[in-house]
A = this chain, B = another copy of it.
Amino acid sequence: MGSQLGTLFRVSTFGESHGVALGCVVDGCPPGVTMCQNLIQTFLDRRRPGQNEFTTQRAELDICEILSGVENEVTLGTPIAILVRNQDKKSSDYNDINQIFRPGHADYTTFKKYGTAASSGGGRASARETIGRVAAAAVAKAYVQTLLPQVDVIAWVDRIGHVQAQVDLNSVTLSNVEASSIRCPDEIAAANMMSEIKSAKNKGDSLGGVICCVAKNIPSGLGEPVFDKLEADLAKAMMSLPAARSFEIGEGWASTFLKGSENNDAYFLDKESNIITRSNRSGGIQGGISNGMPIFIRVGFKPVSTIFKQQNTVTKDFKEIQFTPTSGRHDPCVLPRAVPLIESMFWLVIADHLLRQISLNHKFLAEIQNNL
């Protein structure tokens, strides 16, 4: 029951990191959306490891296959199942750590939850689980842009360790981000980040940091006023990513230091007499509902738990032990690969709230179609 997300655009993911396959089923995607294997593969390729020296060398191609819900490159309106088979299952890589509860990992809590030892390599707790999310997000994006072609979602690495980038969220583009091998569009900061990552890697250590994400041209009216506030569903979506530790909407943490007179975004009329705000400290949401301005968030990630240093822990037969992993395939810094994950979760939340608003307010669909 914990493997489903969304009320109307509902995604179910399945698969263990060292099992047969991973994937998703998307139920609720409207018919008539252009869709094909290639489009989903492009999304998956962005999250794929082994792309450069900064990511884990688990060398899987992660080729996806659409099993259902698409015919002649168009969605049918029925469940879309997408499959990625595991190929590089070197469980032996994990033999030396299979007898212990690794600090920071979910081995112990998984054991306590299910009453069985976690399957090798992390099972559902592995970052490979996000394959299903990313595949589903490719569908979500295609659907949203069918109705709202101008919507875009762009994430980037904003900080790694203590190296802070300077990025203008109004002008940053997806190609700026992708031009950087660590997905930081501030070239100077990116260079410093890379050097920090190399240094950490050499020491067998790992780094955390922050990813920013902005969604542009989201229509006003998305989100619900109570539990399913847009920022609440975004928070859940982002905090469900492995290693996420903090979430902010708009100026977030910084706004907690401000006074109301400093923080409120005053309303104005633009040239077409649409209501806008000039400042956007709220991050495009009031009372849980989008106001038409850019929505931006920050997500903090802890340093990856896998390090190649000696640590204290406990074995699965409850003995204290000191251990130092000597092998295993892990990023010293998860941030660059988390960028497409953040975007993916954002698309999933938008697609769901778009469908919800269409079903609730029967004038909304015509309004957004008229704006095209």
Contacts and interface: CB of A to CB of B under 8 A. Distances in A.
Nearest to A361: B115
A32 B277 CA distance: 28
A180 B251 CA distance: 29
Contact of A240 (B81, B226, B359): B226
A252 B245 CA distance: 5
Interface string A225-260: 111110111111111101011111111110111111
A229 B235 contact: no
B358 A362 contact: yes
Interface in A186-244: 200, 205-210, 220-229, 231-240, 242, 244
Contact of A232 (B101, B110, B240, B287): B240
Contacts of A355: 359
A36 interface: no
Given A249-B245, A256-B209, A318-B273, A71 B16 contact: yes
A260 B208 CA distance: 8
Interface string A47-87: 00000000000000000011111010010111111010000
Contacts of A292: 112
A286 B236 contact: no
A192 to B, nearest CB: 15
Interface residues of A, number: 153
A7 B12 contact: no
Interface string A122-159: 01110001000000000000000001000000000001
A34 interface: no
A340 interface: no
A229 B65 CA distance: 28
A347 to B, nearest CB: 15
A289 B107 CA distance: 10
A292 B112 CA distance: 10
Given A114-B361, A227-B3, A109 B27 contact: no
Contacts of A356: 1-2, 359
Grouping DSSP codes into helix (H, G, I), strand (E, B) and loop, the A interface class, with mixed when no group exceeds half, is mixed
Given A3-B79, A109-B285, A119-B76, A159 B27 contact: no
A25 interface: yes
A227 B5 contact: yes
Interface string A352-372: 000111111111111000000
B267 A76 contact: no
A239 B227 CA distance: 9
Contacts of A147: 362
Contact of A246 (B22, B244, B248, B360): B248
Leading 9 A-B pairs by shortest Cβ distance: A106-B287, A2-B224, A206-B260, A109-B289, A236-B236, A359-B359, A2-B228, A232-B240, A14-B79
Given A2-B356, A232-B240, 10 more contacts: A71-B119, A104-B265, A124-B225, A206-B261, A227-B236, A232-B239, A259-B303, A260-B304, A267-B314, A275-B318
